[in-house]
Amino acid sequence: MIPVHATVCDTLADLVQNSIEAGALRIELDVYTGPDAIRVRVADNGKGMDRETLSKAKDPFYSENGKHNHRRVGLGLPLLYQTAEAVNGKADVQSTPGKGTTVVFEFDANHIDTPPLGDLPATLLGLMTFEGAFDLILKRETPKDGYRVSRGELADVLGNLTEPANLILARDFLRSQEQGLIY
């Protein structure tokens, strides 16, 4: 197996981080897992990319100035394309400067090299504790069930998402959603 991210959650964490760093205030994350396919969509209203930047973003030896001014690698999207190629999947990025970026990918759930989903509650919690005023809205679906949760409503109920006690409550809440899913 060629080296890819260990789990689908690692990939989507990269993508959501990109959205946060692009200044998005609203990030929609749709995660579907079914018997045949894993589908993910990350849509943000961040600063977007023009065509030239987008084509560079697919190159592992490109990273945008500003984030790491002297860095010469950026692996998020390249790793996604690599994984998609390795598992009979597909990945696509649409972006409009000033409006936002949408990344979608789909993996064949039955391909032997398809990464496992990973720990979605822990990944989400991690992403929700990044600084900033963004909302992150998860729409989770299986063929028979689903749930929806957002950073905004958790922060609203708990008061904040920075105190250890609140983070544990948020983690348990997110876990209960995922573990209560009917497949």
Partner 1 sequence: MAKLTLNDLRKLRDEKQKTMAKRDPSNKDAQVIVGMGTCGIAAGAKETFNAIIEELDAKGITHVLVRQTGCMGLCHSEPTVEVIVPNMPVVIYGNVDAETGRQIVHAHIIGKTLVDNHICDKPAMDIVR
Q: What is the binding site for partner 1 (CB under 8 A)?
A: 5-6, 10, 13-14, 17, 21, 67-71, 75-76, 79, 119, 122-123, 125-127, 129-131, 147, 153-154, 157-159, 162-173, 175-177, 179-180
Q: Measured from the CB of residue 116, what is the shortest distance to partner 1 in angstroms?
A: 14
Closest CA to 157 of 146, 165, 166: 166
CB atoms within 10 A of CB 45: 19
Q: State how far Cα 102 lies from the chain centre.
A: 11
Tokens at 13, concatenated: 């964490």
Q: Of the two residues 1 and 165, which places its CB atom closer to partner 1 in the complex?
A: 165
- Distance from first CA to last CA of the chain, Å, rounded? 28
Cα distance between residue 128 and residue 99, in whole Å: 22
Q: Measured from the CB of residue 6, what is the shortest distance to partner 1 in angstroms?
A: 7
Q: Measured from the CB of residue 60, what is the shortest distance to partner 1 in angstroms?
A: 11
Q: Measured from the CB of residue 20, what is the shortest distance to partner 1 in angstroms?
A: 8
Cα distance between residue 180 and residue 146, in whole Å: 9
Q: Measured from the CB of residue 88, what is the shortest distance to partner 1 in angstroms?
A: 23
Q: Of the two residues 32 and 130, which places its CB atom closer to partner 1 in the complex?
A: 130
Q: Of the two residues 23 and 37, which places its CB atom closer to partner 1 in the complex?
A: 23
Q: Of the two residues 96 and 157, which places its CB atom closer to partner 1 in the complex?
A: 157
CB neighbour list of residue 171: distance below 8 Å, 6 or more residues apart: 121, 122, 125
Q: Of the two residues 50 and 156, which places its CB atom closer to partner 1 in the complex?
A: 156
Please report, for residues 20, 60, 67, 82, 102, the alpha-carbon distance to residue 71 in angstroms, rounded to integers and kept in the order given. Answer: 19, 11, 9, 21, 25
